[in-house]
Chains A and B, each alone.
Chain A
């Protein structure tokens, strides 16, 4: 049994999740592959979005995978860090914007 919740080697086993349910896994990976193909957004732009989302969901597997992917797709360090700040801004902003609710409620309750 593993003594840690996260093992970097498990990332390579991702494709094996079909072992307990191949049909849904196959559908998922087909979809996943299609999502990241070059489209209206370039593969590089999609890798950067994935990198930002990886930080939002704080998935260490995803951060490793999409750091490599972003480098391979030709993103610069500056672009990658800006993507992380976008995630951070939205995450911070999503807390802060609820401050409006707090202010509304406070005003409702106050004399």
Chain B
């Protein structure tokens, strides 16, 4: 079994080392403009929230997969998992929050033992719920095979990973057998109405490049994915979200091992788009870590960069007004969200 960088005690499992690599690994990286400077040029520094709309929770780093690009360094060997007490604190915060959407991510969020209970609670609050599913989990144990029906019952939006419309590219990034199992899960979701015309059950796919290149136009890729998946498997879905791989954790490891880091960073930085910077997701999102720590986004979470010190640090101290005044923490990885058409958990952030 492939092990996480953390289990391997790899240098890149240290967030401080990752940030040092991004800033200082080579002469080319040292000479690159800083993200802060690019924001200053467009009068966007310090970066501030526009108001929390999305309450994203990382409910644990445990996963049934060990994908090569994973920014979480998730895997079966990770045991960090959100406890019921922290979930309860999240519910309390949500009762006092203007956030409209609860976005559940991981690892494989379904593997948290309190997952179903929590979805039921949030459903009662009347918030929209997104689950970020890796799809393959839905084809494993019987308790996970029942989940599509459970999602449908609670109107959960399923946003799932499928990096490419063929087996070779998908399996190379996510592991042998992933494509076939993903197709099996998508068929099952379609069968109960997910992604079907006239149905309220929303099924979205997440595309992220399977190498050291940027995602192309979201609309055009969506068209091609729809054509390919319909022709080959009779699968339908609602939207394709293109996400740029951020140069952290296992993807950073890939960039270093393949000698693509300098070139990739150069590509991200020269593709800096001011419109995408204005629309970055950290401005309308808060990210809650498995232990309740608050972050500006899931990437900052993995780099152990919690929200600024003046703002509440933990979900138990929830104060939305104060959080909305915070200064968002940035570093060189942020160029991943501002390149080209922009990138967020909901896909591109600008018109193309």
Binding site for B on A (CB under 8 A): 38, 42-44, 68, 71-74, 76-78
Contacts and interface: CB of A to CB of B under 8 A. Distances in A.
A74 B220 contact: yes
Nearest to A38: B220
Interface of B: 164-166, 168-169, 207, 209, 211, 213-217, 220-221, 223-225
Given A43-B216, A43-B220, A44-B216, 11 more contacts: A38-B220, A44-B220, A68-B213, A71-B211, A72-B213, A73-B216, A73-B217, A74-B207, A74-B224, A77-B168, A77-B169
B215 A72 contact: yes
Contacts of A44: 216, 220, 224
Contacts of B215: 72
Contacts of A78: 166
Contacts of B214: 72
8 contacts: A42-B224, A43-B216, A43-B217, A43-B220, A68-B213, A73-B221, A76-B164, A77-B169
Contact of A72 (B165, B166, B216): B216
A73 B242 CA distance: 11
Contacts, number: 38
Contacts of B223: 42
A35 to B, nearest CB: 16
B221 A74 contact: yes
6 closest cross-chain pairs (CB), A and B: A73-B216, A72-B216, A74-B221, A74-B224, A71-B213, A72-B213
A38 B211 CA distance: 24
A96 to B, nearest CB: 33
Nearest to A75: B224
A76 to B, nearest CB: 5
A42 B220 contact: yes
A73 B221 CA distance: 7
B275 to A, nearest CB: 18
Contacts of B166: 76, 78
Contacts of A38: 217, 220
A77 B211 CA distance: 13
From A42, A43, A72, residue with most partner B Cβ within 10 Å: A72
B209 A71 contact: yes
Contacts of A68: 213
Contacts of A76: 164-166, 169
A5 B331 CA distance: 38
A73 B209 CA distance: 10
